[in-house]
Amino acid sequence: MAWFPLLLTLLIYCTGSWAQSELTQPPSVSGGLGQTVTISCAGSRSNIGIAGVNWYQQHPGKAPKLLIYGSSNRPSGVPDRFSGSKSGNTGSLTITGLQAEDEADYYCSAWDDSLSPWLASGYIRPGSSHGISTCAHACCVPLL
């Protein structure tokens, strides 16, 4: 079948060299309404260290929304409650004054100089509108 080589290629990406250059997040982070939470995204010199990190917010059933690009730049229309920073090979997204509508998945991504495609990893998913918890995404996904 025509799609078989593509599927095989994607499987190789996710189980082969991709696994050696993924982005990772801590097991959990939590915060109540009105509080400040910081989500970290650890990479390596070849991705976050060189190119910085981008952050996306995704509500269930909706397309991801770009929150931060180039580690600390905020697109117009994104509330200033969202801010980003980078230290070495780790990027951070900080949400101040946590609101109920911040309940969403948050993804980090970075260009990897050694692999070429974009890497997307780790997301946070809140347990309720009163707090946020994180979990790590197991496989890197190329955003073509």
Question: Distance from first CA to last CA of the chain, Å, rounded?
Answer: 22
SS (H, E, C) the chain: CCCHHHHHHHHHHHHCHHHHHCCECCCCCCCCCCCCEEEEEECCHHHHHHHCCEEEEECCCCCCEEEEECCCECCCCCCCCEEEEEECCEEEEEECCCCHHHCCEEEEEEECCCCCCEEEEEEECCCECCECCEECCCCCCCCC
Mean pLDDT score across all residues of the chain: 68
pLDDT band at 101 (very low <50, low <70, confident <90, very high): confident
Q: Which residues pair with 55 in a beta bridge?
A: 68, 108
| Mean pLDDT calculated for residue range 48-75 | 88
Give the lowest-confidence range in 18-22, 24-28, 67-71, 139-143: 139-143
Distance, CA of 21 to CA of 47 (rounded, Å): 8
pLDDT band at 1 (very low <50, low <70, confident <90, very high): very low
Q: What percent of the chain has pLDDT over 90?
A: 22
Q: Is the model more confident about 96 or about 4? A: 96
pLDDT band at 115 (very low <50, low <70, confident <90, very high): low
Domains and their CATH numbers in the chain: 4-135 (2.60.40.10)
Which position has the token pair 């260009």? Answer: 111
